[in-house]
Structures are given as structure tokens and as C-alpha cells.
Chain A
Amino acid sequence: MFNFHKNLNSLVLTSFLVFLGLTLIVAVIPAFQLQKTEPLPTMLEPTADELEGLKVYVSENCVACHTQQVRNIEMDQTWGDRPSIPSDYYYSKQRLNVWQQSPSVLGSERTGPDLTNVGKRQPGKEWHLLHLYNPRIVVKESIMPGYSWMFEEKTPDQVKETDVIVSVPKEYLSHPDNKIVATQKAMQLVTYLQSLKQTDMPGMDATAFIPSSKKKVAPANSSTAGEAVLPDGLALYSQSCAACHQANGEGIAGAFPPLAGSEIINEDNLETLIRIILQGYDARPEYGAMPPFGDQLSDEDIAAITSHERSSWGNSAKKVTAEEVRKIRELVNLSNN
């Protein structure tokens, strides 16, 4: 009937129509349907600066190495509190302009970490700026490129009052007195990265992770053990603190204070230490501001982290219990109210 091997029109037309039909079914129609997704009511519309930051993100093609999708398998729990859903992308995946389409932020390679929740995980502006200037200042093993062209190196008399100065260590400067100043592009990109936070969706079952079948070690019962068994302090420290204060507790000179040998860390009175962790800290102009961690870390987490800090890198103060942390948290909450 079709006579494909002799009739070119029939061959071309059939392959065209069948392919087009399949394309409609498997690509165009689902695309139209997914495009209709509404944003979550709790989602905030991005600010102008955040959108500009997204454009920098696209222009530097960050999507080549960073994904923004928390898959619905348990191993991805590191990257978000829940699996990503289509609504999450409502604002970030609109067409950019006449020339550029909706950015492919989902990505296909995780050469670097997923960024879905990086605003929560890495809240500090100073850290982001240093990391962008040269990632190896804060993470020695990192292979991410430095974006030094988004910063200007100025001599002290060129620095204006409005300039955002990044406390880059001296060995990265051409003259020790020079200052590194972030350009608007860098600031916008950091604003965008800080805005990347998963919107809460309490009580929605449809977005649960598929659990891993790996056997979980049941936490030891604290009442029988006499002393509460705390989570792994080293692991928590690496996750939440090491990015700035470094794994060796030395911090980054001029950016993040050292914890090794620090008075606040080793003090018998825990209040200052725990308060700083809960509420953040920005009292010392020579260092960057520390964001608050009160919402992210539980009393047990904080106890484990501080115990680790007080017993490492030559520090030798006594351990901290969750109970002590709880008391100070109550105190902090009281004074806030």
C-alpha cells in the first residue's frame, strides 16, 4: 500500500507524520499540561535582584555542574526536606526574554552540589562572596572555577564607602593592601543563591521520599543508657559549620574566626557560645556575619556540635548536653518575646 521502497513521498510523509504524532504525545502535550502548574501559595515572588541573579546563573551556565532537583529517593534527602514538585519551578522557569528560553535549572550533572536549598544550607553572604571569588579559599578540595572577573581589585584609596569588600586572604592579592570589591553581578548572583530555599509544604503526603531499604540503626534509648546519645558531632560540624570555620577549626583569616583555642568555645559558661549559634553574630567588624542556626539545628545537634568543637583541635573543655542547650534556647526565646 505504502510502497516505501519505491515511493519517496510516501516514505517521507509517513515518517514525518508518525514522528510528529509521537512527538505530540510524548513531548508537546505533556509540556502544555505541565506549563499550567500554579505556584504554591506560600511561595514568594522573586525580587528584581534575584531575577537578575538568575540571569547571571544562566549566563555563567552554572547548570552545567549544579542541579536543582531533589529527587524522590532517599539519597537526595541531603539536598532538601522534600522531593521537588513542578510548582517549585514556577518562578525560576519562566521564559527569560525574547532571545532566551526558560532556564534549564533542573540540570543533568551533579559535578557540584545540588542548589535547591542552598539558601538554607549556606546562608552567609560573606561565605558566598569568598567562595565565588575563589572556591578554594573556603573549600580546599573544590574544583569549581573562581569567578574573579565578577570582582574588582582596588587600592585602598579607590575603595568607596558603598563598596562591598570581600575579605580575601592576602596571598590572593597582587598587593597586600589592596581590597577585593564585589561587582553588582556578584551581589545579584549571591542574592539569587541566598533566595534558593525550598518552600515548606506541611502535611502533604504526595511528596514523600521513597524510603531506602537500607537498615537504619535504631537510636539507642536515652533513658536506659543514662546519658543521652548525641548525633555524630563531627558529621554535623562538617555539614553546617566547616564551610566557614573549616574542618581544622582554623577559620579563614579576615573572614571567619578560628574555633581552635577560641575563648568563647572553651568557656565554662556556655551561654555566649550557644547564643551565637542560635541567633547569629555580627559584632566583630573584622569578620563576616554569622547567620542564625536556631531553626535548622535541634538541641541535640547543637550539643553534639559544640561538644565536638570543645574537644577538637587542641580544645579540651567539658562536653555539652542537650539539656543545657535547651535551657539557653528557652532563655533566648524569652528575651525575644
Chain B
Amino acid sequence: MKKNLILFTTKMSEKKVGLTILLSCLAYLPLAAQPTPNPSTNNWLASPGIIGTLVLIALVLMIAILIVVKRASSIMNFFQRKNEKVTIQKLREELYQLEEDEIDEVLEERKTAKTYKLTGDELYQGGKAVDRKGIVSSYTNDPQNPLVDEKKRSRSVLQIPVELKNLVVWYIGAATFWLVFGTLVGQYLGMKFMWPDLDQVSFLSFGRLRPVHTNTVFWGWASLAMIGLGYFVIAKTSNTKIYNYKIAWTTWVLINLTLVIGNIFLMSGINNGGGEYREYIWPVMIMFAIGLILTFYNFYKTIQLRKIEEIYISNWYIMGAMVWTIVLAIIGYLPWYQNGLGETVIQGYYMHQGVGMWFMTFTLGLVYYYLPSSLNKPIYSYSLGVLAFWTQMLFYTMIGTHHFVFSPLPWWLQTVAIVFSAGMFIPVVAGTTNFLMTMRGSWNDISKSYVLPFFLVGVVFYFVGSTQGSLQAFRFTNFVWHFTDFNVAHSHMTMYGIITFLLWAAIYALLPKITGNEPKQLFVGVHFWLAFVGLFAYMISLMAGGTLRGLSWIAGDTFITSVVLMQPYWVWRAIGGTLMFISHLIFAYNFYEMVRERKDAAKPAVVPMKSTLANV
């Protein structure tokens, strides 16, 4: 009887399980019909931490890429071995056709060849070693370099017109100045999180100074460096001279004026309304816009003058960046649709495209030239570059509103932004693949070069930072991360980890080639490691702190609890920031070393360029 009962209950419970599943499905239906699927709080709290997952994913992906590369090369090996087998087969057939004496002779020869060993004095036959061809750059009798490996030196100097050289040097020089100034301001702001009473001066108060930091590194550092490096790429890949140098210098003056006047205005409390990266009022920003239009015209004319039929892929990106940013600047500042939440729609569009269409697109264009040229080989795939170009335009343009998820902006705009954010995987994967495949086979060069590590970090961050950004756009992650310092970490991961590292790579690759002066390798190394470690400290601390802060808000703690909670993370951020700032001082010194006139130093060999570029 009891047994039966147990049996019965089990049967019942089986049925119940089925029923429960069905019921719970039904119960979830109305939930699914809701505009937002609302993840349960318990889940995110119990999850081992979103950062951890992300870091792991990034790690796994890197490993996966390595494995894919390894697999590919083993497949190549397989085909090679197949070829070898065919050769062996042929040899065997030949041996069959030979007479016995002949076979002995052949085998005897083979035996000596197989057992041959170097005696160690093949090259040195007594006497003094002389380097007749000038191959040896340095030698030492005490090969114990205690600290770092010596890197490969840039051995050739490109002969380019003095005007172009000066132009590039001055653009990068101004950019370097703004980098140091902008990050000094950033460093000071970071310290204010710990000591809010650092000063009582209106000019230096946090609200006024924050846009000085962001605008300076955007329009000063990154933009000037990009345009300067762009001028060289445009001339070189079009095999022609720059259409008009005066235009280039006018732009230089206009952009620097924008920065000087704009920052003075911001510090005196005159701003456009506080929208990020739109803080300069229009009479100031119009100078930047005119600079852009002039640069576009100059680039356009130069490419039209090209001596080769095809437009190199770098120039696609650079021209795209110019056209899109001009549209962006105009749309961002025109007044007719910017009252009420109209301004907010434009703000989302503007701030995201400022990053995506200007910095990212232009910098990618630079990488398509400077990376292959530093590796001394062509880009892996032109078509992948083209695919990434068009998808960049298509997807990036649509995603501005992901800065305003759950805001009063229309739900459809938010949804479009989130969906297209996911679409960003396509250009990002295409670009990353292209760069990594170009580097493939040259991994050893990276440890021997002081330029390539910057490229590698930039490319890896391009993948990790962009992917993470796409994930951040999802509603789920928005619950936790929006409004927290996580956003600040993300923007540093991208603007610094991607853009700044790639620009440094391009600068270190180009300047020694056109000035003939190399920076001190030790200082480049110190620059690299300080910037890299500093960025990591900055990023990880704010990501961890930001996540905890978001969770604290969700849990319903008082706001000030979350401020107290952030304190240690802000300290670590400031430490990271300090390392980054010191690295910029070292970079400035390296820049000085690369461009200063040296009379006594031995000049490396001058390689005349086989192009019209050298003759103008």
C-alpha cells in the first residue's frame, strides 16, 4: 500500500514537473511581451562578476586566435609534407632505374652529406675580422646586457620634401603638447576624487575642467596627430606631393586656436550646454570645422593627383573619416532641431560618431598603412578592409542612442542602437583579423622592434574594447553599468588603448624614417610599459568599482554608500593615471629626441624614394 502510494506520488510529481514547466512557460509569456525582458536581480548578484567573465572571454578568444593560427600553419605543413612525399617517390623511382655501382655512389654521397658537421671555422680562416660591407651595426666583447634586449634600429631615411617633413613634425609636435597638457588636467581631475578641496579656484573646479581634459585629448592630441600622420600616408600611397602646403598650415593654426580659445572659455564657465565633446561654443568649434573642410579639400586634391590608378585602402578610411566628421560637426551644431529631447537624440548621435567616424575610422586608415610598412609586407586582405569600411559606416552610424538606454527617448531608437551595436562585431572582427593575419609569421619581429608592440596592444584593444562596448550597449549590462565609472573605463580603454597606442605606433614608425634620429630605445620601452600598466590599473579599478556601484544602486543602498564604496577604486585610478601621465612626459622627450637637429651624430644611410615624392 505504502509502496503504491510512493509510486503514485512519483507519477504525480512527474506529471507535475511537466505541468510546472508548461505553467512557467505561460507565466513567462506576458513577461516576454513586456518591452524589456527584465533579468532577475538574483542572477546578476550571484554571477561571478561581469568583468571577470569579460576578461576571461577576451583571454579565451586570444587563445582561440592563437590556436586557429597554429592549426592553419599545421594544415600548410600537411600540404608541404605531401609535396615532399611526391618528391621522395620520384627519387625512389629514379633509384630503381639506376645500375648498382651508380646506386652505391649516390648513397655514399648522401651518407657524407647526412653526417656532415660544422667545424666552427668555416667563416673565420685566421686573421682579423673585417666588416667590408657595413652589415654589422655594433658589437661587444661583453655580451651581457643586464636589463633589456637591444631592438632593431630604423636604418634608412626616406627622402621626402622638407615641407612635408616639417608639416608632419609640427602636427605631431602640437599633438604631443596637447597630450601632455590634456592628461595633466586629467591627472589633476583624478586627484580631485580623493581630495575634493584641492583648490577653491573657479577656473579649476571639476565641472569646468572635465571638458578641458576630454576636448584637449580629442581635438588636440588625437586629431592633430591623425591629420599629421595622414598627410604622409596620403602623399606616400598616392605617390605624389601634397596639393597645397598653405592649406595644411592654415588648418594647423585653426585647430590649435580652437583648443586655446575653447579651453579658456570652458575654464571661464562659457560652454555650449554641457553635451559631451560639444562643449566648445559654435564660434570656437567653427574654426575646427573649417580646418576639417580645408583638410578634406587638400586630401581630396592630393589623391586626385595620384600617380597610381588605385586608391589605397588607407585613403578610403581617411576620406571617409573626413567626409563623415564634417557632416557630423555640422549636424551637431545646427540649431533647428535641438530643443527639448531633440538635443538629446543629436547628443547621442554626435558623441558616438565623434569617436566612431572620426577617431576610429581615421586611425584604422593609418594602421592600414603604417602596420604593413613597419612589417615590410603587404596588408593581408584588401577586401576585408573594404568590408570593414562599409560596415563601419552602416553600423556605427546607427548606435548613438545606446548612451540613453531606458531614457525618455523613443523605444525604437534605443532598440535600433542596441541591435546595431551588436552588428559592430562585423567590422571589428574583420579589422582585427586583417591586422593579426598581417602580423602572422612576424611574431618574432615584435620582440625585436620598439614599434610593433604598440601596434599589437592597439590591435588587441581594438578587438577587446570594441567588443566590450557592444556588450555594454545591451539592456542587461545597462542595468548594472550605466551612469557608473564603468563608462569612464570603457572610454579610456578605447580612446587610449586603441587610438592613442596606435598613434604612438605610427609616430615611432614614421618619425625616425623622416628625420633620421631615433629615440633612445630604453625610453621607448619605459614609455610603453608605463602607459600599458597604467592603463590596466585605470581600467580594471574603474570597471570593478563601477560594477559594484551599479549593484549597490540596484540593491537600493543610499547613494552616499556607493560614493564611499568607490573611494579605493578612485585611488587606484589615480595611480594608473599617474603612470600614464609620466609615460607621456617620456614620450614628449622621445619626440624631442626624434626631431631635434643633430650635427655630430652619424647619419644613417639615406635611401632615395623611387617616387616623384622625392623629386619635389
Contact = CB atoms under 8 A, between A and B. Distances in A.
Interface string B274-303: 111011011100000000000000001001
Interface stretch (B32-40, B56-64, B496-504): B32-40
B269 A28 contact: no
B275 A61 contact: no
Given A60-B269, A78-B556, A20 B211 contact: no
A215 to B, nearest CB: 8
Interface string B560-580: 100110000000000000000
A328 B427 CA distance: 68
A50 B326 CA distance: 36
A147 B341 CA distance: 29
A277 interface: no
A83 B406 CA distance: 9
Interface stretch (A5-13, A123-131, A287-295, A304-312): A5-13
Given A73-B479, A101-B273, A141-B564, A64 B398 contact: no
Contacts of A75: 479, 553-554, 556
Contact of A104 (B207, B275, B327): B275
Nearest to B488: A109
Interface stretch (B73-81, B190-198, B433-441): B190-198
A84 B408 contact: yes
Given A26-B349, A31-B338, A96-B273, A62 B413 contact: no
A109 B196 contact: no
B42 interface: yes
A101 B272 contact: yes
Given A11-B316, A23-B327, A103 B394 contact: no
Contacts of A27: 331, 345-346, 349, 400
Q: Which of A94, A108, A142, A148 has the most CB of B within 10 A?
A: A108
B331 A8 contact: no
A104 B394 CA distance: 27
A23 B406 contact: no
B478 to A, nearest CB: 9
Interface in B321-351: 323-324, 327-328, 331, 333, 335-347, 349
Interface in A77-110: 78, 83-86, 88-90, 93-96, 99-110
B340 A37 contact: yes
Interface in A176-201: none
Contact of B201 (A67, A102, A103, A149): A149
Contact of A30 (B281, B309, B345): B345
Nearest to A77: B556
Nearest to B282: A99
B210 A61 contact: yes
B237 interface: no
Contacts of A72: 406
A82 B61 CA distance: 43
B319 interface: yes
Given A11-B316, A59-B271, A93-B341, A34 B409 contact: yes
Nearest to A18: B393
A313 interface: no
Nearest to B337: A31
B20 interface: no
Contacts, number: 260
A69 interface: yes
Given A6-B310, A239-B558, A61 B34 contact: no
A6 to B, nearest CB: 6
Interface string B374-416: 0000000000001000000110011011011011111001001
B38 A213 contact: yes
A143 interface: yes
A86 B200 contact: no
Contacts of A5: 310-311, 386
B558 A143 contact: no
Given A19-B397, A30-B345, A147-B205, A86 B340 contact: yes
A103 B273 contact: yes
A15 B341 contact: no
Interface string A12-54: 1001101110110011101110110100000000000000000
A212 interface: yes
A102 B483 contact: no
Contacts of B410: 30, 34
Contact of B397 (A26, A30, A86, A109): A26
Given A27-B346, A75-B556, A104-B343, A86 B274 contact: no
A155 interface: no
Contact of A8 (B211, B319, B487): B319
A107 B275 CA distance: 8
Given A16-B327, A145-B192, A35 B338 contact: yes
Interface string B179-214: 000000000000011101100111001111011000
Given A19-B327, A26-B416, A102 B273 contact: yes
26 contacts: A6-B309, A15-B324, A18-B393, A23-B331, A26-B398, A30-B410, A30-B413, A31-B342, A31-B346, A34-B340, A34-B341, A34-B410, A58-B271, A60-B269, A94-B339, A101-B278, A102-B343, A113-B559, A136-B197, A144-B196, A211-B38, A213-B38, A213-B40, A213-B41, A214-B42, A238-B558
Interface of A: 4-6, 8, 11-12, 15-16, 18-20, 22-23, 26-28, 30-32, 34-35, 37, 58-65, 67, 69, 71-73, 75-76, 78, 83-86, 88-90, 93-96, 99-111, 113, 134-136, 139, 141-149, 210-214, 235, 238-239
Given A90-B340, A139-B560, A211-B38, 4 more contacts: A4-B311, A37-B341, A78-B553, A84-B408
Interface of B: 34-36, 38-42, 192-194, 196-197, 200-202, 205-208, 210-211, 266, 269-276, 278-279, 281-283, 300, 303-304, 309-311, 316, 319-320, 323-324, 327-328, 331, 333, 335-347, 349, 357, 386, 393-394, 397-398, 400-401, 403-404, 406-410, 413, 416, 479, 482-485, 487-488, 553-554, 556, 558-560, 563-564
